């Protein structure tokens, strides 16, 4: 299994005490599997994605990524695991303004020591970015920036890709095109994809759907 989550709990302080955002959540994903994570606002979708991505630690439970339990790692260990084994695509793109397209795509792969110039060039070509390699994020459209973010997430060939509303800032046609590319590239690399989305239409395009309600998966 690429990802195994078992009995994960997470709470945050509220005005009247701690609020359980996740309550005993469990899920498993194999290589090449695509899963949509849906649920209303506040159901815990982004919290779960952040825990799986090592951006935060659970209160209790197990999160295994590539055979290593994120919950047992400190901040530096989670950062290393995220760098080496996980690709993340954010809704807000989160590109580095001072780097051009080529450097943004290669950024995480270089950090992980797995930069492959030929693979990065192939990604840029397939993402329709070959003509924008020397342009900076401010010179790109929203759809182009999101394609750069997908390229960056896949450049290091991670086993797991996490996407948090990756088409949320795009119009429907551009969002569909971006999702097409992401699904194609994930399939080609054999990575597992866990995608948070509010869209029932987009969720239906992934292999499996999980619904979060009140911190529990149904």
**Complete DSSP assignment for 75-138:** HHHHHHHHHHHEEEE-TT----TTS-HHHHHHHHHHHTT---HHHHHHHHHHTT-GGGTT--GG
User: Taking 90 as the threshold, does the pLDDT of residue 131 lie above it?
Assistant: yes
CA dist list (Å): 89 to 39, 74, 75: 19, 23, 20
**Rounded Cα distance, 125 and 164, in Å:** 24
**Rounded Cα distance, 150 and 143, in Å:** 11
User: Taking 90 as the threshold, does the pLDDT of residue 208 lie above it?
Assistant: yes
Residue 174: predicted pLDDT: 87
How confident is the model over 8-27, as a mean pLDDT? 92
**Rounded Cα distance, 207 and 33, in Å:** 7
Q: Which helix (H) or strand (E) holds 52?
A: helix 45-52
Domain ranges of the chain: 3-217
In the sheet where 216-217 sits, what is the strand order? 86-89, 160-164, 192-196, 34-38, 208-213, 216-217
User: Taking 90 as the threshold, does the pLDDT of residue 45 lie above it?
Assistant: yes
- Determine the length of the chain: 218
| Tokens at 128, concatenated | 């329709």
**Rounded Cα distance, 201 and 118, in Å:** 35
User: Taking 90 as the threshold, does the pLDDT of residue 92 lie above it?
Assistant: no
Tens of pLDDT, residues 50-89: 999 999 899 999 999 988 998 888 889 998 998 999 999 9
**Rounded Cα distance, 106 and 208, in Å:** 30
User: Taking 90 as the threshold, does the pLDDT of residue 152 lie above it?
Assistant: yes
User: Taking 90 as the threshold, does the pLDDT of residue 140 lie above it?
Assistant: yes
Residue 10: predicted pLDDT: 96
- If phi > 0 it is left, if psi is from -120 to 50 it is alpha, else beta; for residue 167 that is alpha
Residue 14: predicted pLDDT: 84
Mean pLDDT of the chain: 93
User: Taking 90 as the threshold, does the pLDDT of residue 158 lie above it?
Assistant: yes
Whether pTM > 0.85 for this model: the answer is: yes
Residue 52: predicted pLDDT: 95
Which range, of 11-20, 33-42, 147-156, 198-207, averages the lowest pLDDT? Answer: 11-20
- Of the candidate CATH numbers 3.30.420.40, 3.40.50.2300, 3.40.50.300, 2.60.40.10, the domain formed by 3-217 belongs to 3.40.50.300
pLDDT band, very low/low/confident/very high, at 104 (cuts 50, 70, 90)? very high
């Amino acid at each position: 299994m690429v990802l195994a989550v078992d009995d994960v709990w997470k709470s945050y302080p509220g005005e009247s005490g701690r609020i359980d955002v996740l309550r005993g959540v469990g899920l498993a994903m194999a290589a090449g599997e695509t899963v949509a994570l849906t649920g209303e606002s506040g159901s815990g979708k982004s919290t779960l994605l952040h825990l799986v991505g090592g951006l935060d630690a659970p209160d209790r439970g197990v999160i295994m990524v590539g055979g290593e339990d994120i919950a047992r790692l400190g901040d530096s260990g989670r950062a290393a695991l995220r760098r080496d084994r996980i690709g993340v695509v954010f809704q807000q793109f989160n590109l580095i303004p001072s780097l051009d397209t080529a450097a943004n795509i290669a950024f995480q792969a270089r950090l992980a020591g797995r930069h492959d110039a030929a693979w990065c060039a192939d990604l840029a070509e397939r993402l329709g970015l070959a003509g924008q390699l020397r342009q900076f994020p401010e010179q790109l459209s929203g759809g182009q920036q999101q394609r750069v973010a997908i390229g960056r997430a896949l450049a290091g060939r991670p086993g797991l890709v996490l996407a948090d509303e990756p088409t949320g800032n795009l119009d429907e046609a551009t969002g569909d095109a971006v999702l097409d590319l992401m699904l194609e590239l994930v399939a080609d690399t054999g990575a597992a994809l866990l995608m948070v989305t509010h869209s029932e239409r987009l969720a239906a395009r992934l292999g499996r759907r999980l619904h979060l309600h009140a911190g529990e998966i149904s």
